[in-house]
A and B are shown apart, each in its own frame.
Chain A
């Protein structure tokens, strides 16, 4: 089982012991679910900034050569897509990936978070539902994002390194399809969480098994096949809009105590009462 627990000072990529359980968890896919970018964008950014111009060109050409395979892989199997995509990272040093991951998160990813997704994560957290990220993105990108969102645990794909350089292979388990479901089951078992009480949010039909494993699956901005699955399985469908398209509607607070609700609103209504 590969559980990552975020910690401020140490290596964020190293597996950590499980954190105490709150009894309920919400598992979020990343690409297309809480950010309006995808894995390929992250890969291109990384390869385009990896080193000297000559190196960048070589990596990008290598990536371009993989496009037909990536297309076929995307149509057939998400695990294969991840495997083919991350082969392009072969030879990049671990420290460079870590710094690029930080940069990508800070410069790009955070700006592309769906504002309503962030609100929902916060609202769930306020309701005692702990957020967990479960994604096929590489850990060097997910770790800084998890830190930004205050998410303690996440599951992401990890590269196999040799002498400090990526080998182009992914460590098992590769986070895609059924593996996500298995990871969630292990995660829940380790924390004595009942998956029937857990929520799951994802956007792709490859995540059907992941969502089906949870008591409260939600299809977010679903692709055509996930939408069909959601309709037939009667899963709620939710739409997040990008920051540019969404309009803030006001404060979102999810108080658990009715007295708190009343006090909060009473304070606000002095002028009208």
Chain B
């Protein structure tokens, strides 16, 4: 049986287009005649003229999706990496747990059928064929919010939902002490805790989606099914400061720690990991112009952009949010691998970098990023200021290998309206974190020492996490720590288009009314010859900075 991805080899043009070295056209230097650029700005998009000489980095075009994803999944399960095929590992009386990535992936949510539904249908069929009845499906939420019934149904599909919900399909609960097991300590003294159901299973199957290289690998199980007691060993200031970057697992202390934990877990558990990768087709249909180089915009593209801007401007915040969060991306699956976690992840990583990596020469003095309406932690929710910080400084700043896109001491310009707005059911502890903790200090070490434990053990926040749909009380701290490498690296952060300057001040940033003003503020310090880079979104891109 031929491996479906093998067919891509025949697509000479596409293959050439996706050689990392052949992507020089993805880095564009603007001149006087250059078109304005589309910049994400919360629930809107700006269309702004950037200074002459600005370097714009575009994501690579989407790789061609697998022609028959279901066949590819079947092939992967039958031909796993460094393990026996799934069917050969099954026996009727065994206990199997299937862990599934939660709603934080992919972004935005993908069109149905979701990849996880495709994976589940095939895995469940195999289990049924071999008489395995004791099967539980666990959404690997870790300290994320519980997914709602409707969200779970959408992700796993009708078949699995009808058969397993709610008794055998549920969200992981990191605060149910009876359902946690401690597996031991790593050589670095990190305590490894895991879902008891998973730990006591004969076989744990993990279904993953890799949107960026940060995802997958040992991190899937060691983080997704782990409670605070485990996470605090790598989701802390010291570890995250030593991660350069999160998107480069080889140079990330966060990944080294989760790898150590994952290896320990592997000693006591049999894990069959299934990883998938998706292409960068984030927007399609009427919004496909968002992927384009603006210099190639047609009149129709400009009309659509203006129409989109007008619509967004004239809708209420809530309607805008609903409209955008209901949008489903036409992502295509570009690879699926199964078997041993490390072997599988290596292949998935290679494919993900093939999709995302763009070679870039040298760092810039000023980096411009636009923060969109969505990040992993506000699906169907509000992008609050702490999450804006995490998205800009934690994710977008870290979209590099080798060196950051902005030089040390440089300026980071973040385009977002930055409103003092929080979701009271999803992000209750964020509100207190922002208004109480950040009012006192923005120093991550001090925040960690003084407040983390109080929030992690706060009964009301724990209650809202367990029974409501709230992120865990400690989660805003992790979001703040996530931005720590950027805070250590850049000299100045300016929020462009900031509607509430006091919010920017609370985050330790400066505020500018417009992007032009922000650039003027940055160049007044960096000099008029300062180099400027704009990291174009959507979709995502990872800069290989030489």
Contact = CB atoms under 8 A, between A and B. Distances in A.
B466 interface: yes
A234 B468 CA distance: 17
B200 A255 contact: no
A234 B424 contact: yes
B175 interface: yes
B221 to A, nearest CB: 14
A268 B460 contact: no
B537 interface: no
Nearest to A239: B468
Given A266-B182, A272-B200, A252 B175 contact: yes
Nearest to B171: A249
A273 B457 contact: no
Contact of A236 (B194, B268, B420, B464): B464
Nearest to A235: B424
A64 interface: no
A236 B177 contact: no
A268 B431 CA distance: 35
B467 A116 contact: yes
Nearest to B184: A273
B196 A272 contact: yes
A253 B179 CA distance: 12
Contact of B173 (A124, A246, A249, A268): A249
A272 B268 contact: yes
B285 to A, nearest CB: 33
A246 B459 CA distance: 18
Interface stretch (A104-112, A168-176, A180-188, A257-265): A257-265
Interface string B189-201: 0010110100110
A178 B534 CA distance: 54
B421 to A, nearest CB: 8
Nearest to A122: B459
B467 A230 contact: no
Contact of A273 (B178, B181, B422, B453): B181
B462 A234 contact: no
Contacts of A77: none
B463 interface: yes
Nearest to B199: A272
Interface in B374-426: 420, 422, 424-425
B435 interface: yes
B71 interface: no
B181 A219 contact: no
A249 B176 CA distance: 7
B181 A123 contact: no
Given A234-B435, A250-B178, A273 B468 contact: no
B432 interface: yes
A216 B459 CA distance: 12
B263 to A, nearest CB: 16
A36 to B, nearest CB: 15
Interface of A: 116, 119-120, 123-124, 126-127, 129, 199, 216, 218-219, 230-231, 234-239, 246-247, 249-256, 258, 261-262, 264-266, 268-269, 271-273
22 contacts: A116-B463, A116-B467, A199-B460, A216-B432, A234-B420, A234-B422, A236-B425, A236-B464, A251-B176, A252-B466, A258-B453, A262-B229, A264-B177, A265-B193, A268-B180, A268-B181, A268-B196, A271-B181, A272-B181, A272-B199, A273-B183, A273-B184
Interface of B: 166, 173, 175-184, 191, 193-194, 196, 199-200, 229, 268, 420, 422, 424-425, 428, 431-432, 435, 453, 457-460, 462-464, 466-468, 470
